[in-house]
Amino acid sequence: MGNKLTLRLNNQYQDKLSHLTDNAVEDLIQRYYNGEKNKILIEEYNIDISNLSFLVKTFPPKKYFDKICPFCNISMISYRQSKSASSKETIFCQNCQHELDNFYCSCSSCTAKRLKEKEVLFDVQRQVIIDENLIKKEYKIDIRELDIKMKLYISALLRASLSEDLEDINPISSSALILTPITLNNKYETKIITFLKENGLIIFSPNTRLNSVTIENNEIIRYFPLDVTYRLNIANDELDIEIDELLYLEDRIEKDEKLLLRLWLEIGLYECLEYLYSRLDEYSLPSQYIGKKTILSIESALNNFSISQVFYFIWNASKNAAAFYQKDNVTKKHAVNLVAGNISRNMERAIAENWHVSKYGRAFNCPQSIVSEVFFNRVLKIGDSGFDTVARHYFENNEEE
């Protein structure tokens, strides 16, 4: 604002008409806007300026007796525009520089007013989040109601983002740890957090950043799951639980084998998708074209093969897609769409011909995620063998034992 203020108050041409009477100045201004040539007017009125276009700068400001500065209580003014100007005149207060009808006015009074309004809005929105927390925490979920899926998700989330004081679950978007396999739009992370939030297992922390939620009419109408700060909302006989009960899953874990199988296949699916995205990226093929058909082919493969063996099918399918793209001059979308069929065909041949399918290791850029570590290390307690074992066979063998 300083430059604008200096420019307004130090118009070096304002004294060039001091030798004229008020009536002569008014006559000059009227003739100028009526279209008479600047050169003729400058010579006739003996105005000492070297540049013809500067004539309008010598005119006194226009005063508006009906427009009063709300802060200084004086009439506002505007500098006169060139007769060829298309922009609207800026009406302002010569004392404080307040601009009329300008939402972004940068005068000190408007700046202070906006800052105050922002502080008030901040306080109101912060209170909305605090109230939400207070209401939700009145209805804590009893830890005995949690199934293994809930415990797995909570344990993984706590390991990834629990604050040092054990109070908050920090935004997963700012965590350096990998909660889930990395897929498009962080789909698995969002799925886990949304599940926990909708089931009342986590609630907004009073420390939630305001830009991570949308508040209208004193109500949170939208939130960004990966950017919000949460708190656990779980109790044991209405008493707060010890955090390590869920962080390390110290309690005995129930053996709901159907649910455990679904979780295994779920984790395997996202690990396979992460590996597929990584392989496509190596060949500069776009992963956004991966859809439901490819997901179904991977899910089918996981019903018959281990995650590491499905990696083989993915490695082969992505290699063939890249070769097809380079050789046959097709679009990248067409090449990517061949992946699903390739996985399915190789899987079916492997079953029919009883192939010995290779077990691929984890790619260096696809490290094991926390949810996978918790599931195989703490829940099933089988470690890395979970990567090389067919999920269905694992539970079938357990039944036989």
- Per-residue model confidence (pLDDT) at position 136: 84
Tokens of 103: 């939402």
Mean pLDDT of the chain: 90
- Per-residue model confidence (pLDDT) at position 185: 86
38-42, 116-120, 345-349, 353-357: which has the minimum mean pLDDT?
116-120
Share of the chain above pLDDT 90, in %: 64
pLDDT category of residue 1 using cuts at 50, 70 and 90: very low
Helix (H) and strand (E) counts in the chain: 15, 9
- Per-residue model confidence (pLDDT) at position 144: 87
Identify the residue with better confidence: 226 or 247. Answer: 226
Give tens-digit pLDDT for 65-76.
999 999 999 999
238 has pLDDT over 70: no
206 has pLDDT over 70: yes
- Per-residue model confidence (pLDDT) at position 304: 96
- Per-residue model confidence (pLDDT) at position 123: 86
Q: What is the pLDDT averaged over residues 311-328?
A: 92
Give tens-digit pLDDT for 274-307.
999 999 999 999 999 999 999 999 999 999 999 9
In 108-208, which ranges are continuous DSSP H helix?
Answer: 108-136, 148-161, 187-198
- Per-residue model confidence (pLDDT) at position 6: 39
- Per-residue model confidence (pLDDT) at position 339: 95
Q: Positive or negative CA dihedral for 142, 148, 150, 153?
A: positive
Which residues make Cβ contacts (< 8 Å) with residue 185, sequence separation at least 6?
A: none
- Per-residue model confidence (pLDDT) at position 328: 72
End-to-end CA distance of the chain: 81
Give tens-digit pLDDT for 363-399.
888 999 999 999 999 999 999 999 999 999 998 877 6
Distances (CA, A) of 42 to 50, 57, 61, 140: 10, 12, 19, 83
Rg of the chain (C-alpha set) = 35
Identify the residue with better confidence: 330 or 387. Answer: 387
Distance CA 39, CA 43 (A): 6
User: For residues 32 and 38, is the Cβ–Cβ distance under 8 A?
Assistant: yes
Share of the chain above pLDDT 70, in %: 95
- Per-residue model confidence (pLDDT) at position 5: 42
Tokens of 20: 């004229």
Phi and psi, residue 277, nearest 5°: -60, -40
pLDDT category of residue 231 using cuts at 50, 70 and 90: very high
Distance CA 217, CA 12 (A): 52
Which residues make Cβ contacts (< 8 Å) with residue 58, sequence separation at least 6?
A: 13, 14, 16, 17, 47, 49
Distances (CA, A) of 393 to 146, 182, 303: 27, 27, 9
Phi and psi, residue 219, nearest 5°: -145, 140
The whole-angstrom distance between residue 28's C-alpha and the CA centroid of its chain comes to 59
In DSSP notation, 214-268 reads EEETTEEEEE-TTT--EEE-EEETTEEPPTHHHHTT-SPPP--HHHHHHHHHHHH
323 has pLDDT over 60: yes
Distance CA 220, CA 129 (A): 8
- Per-residue model confidence (pLDDT) at position 241: 73
- Per-residue model confidence (pLDDT) at position 13: 77
Cα dihedral value 223, 225, 228, 233, nearest 10? 100
pLDDT category of residue 3 using cuts at 50, 70 and 90: very low
Distance CA 313, CA 346 (A): 7
114 has pLDDT over 70: yes
Q: What is the pLDDT averaged over residues 93-102?
A: 93
**Largest distance between two CA atoms of the chain:** 114
DSSP state of 64: E
13-22, 145-154, 234-243, 266-275: which has the minimum mean pLDDT?
234-243
User: For residues 171 and 228, is the Cβ–Cβ distance under 8 A?
Assistant: yes
pLDDT category of residue 92 using cuts at 50, 70 and 90: very high
- Per-residue model confidence (pLDDT) at position 9: 47
Which residues are bridge partners to 75 per DSSP?
68
Distances (CA, A) of 135 to 139, 140, 184: 8, 10, 34
pTM: 0.74
57 exposure class (CB count in 10 Å sphere: 0-12, 13-18, 19+): middle
- Per-residue model confidence (pLDDT) at position 138: 79
- Per-residue model confidence (pLDDT) at position 401: 52
User: For residues 180 and 192, is the Cβ–Cβ distance under 8 A?
Assistant: yes
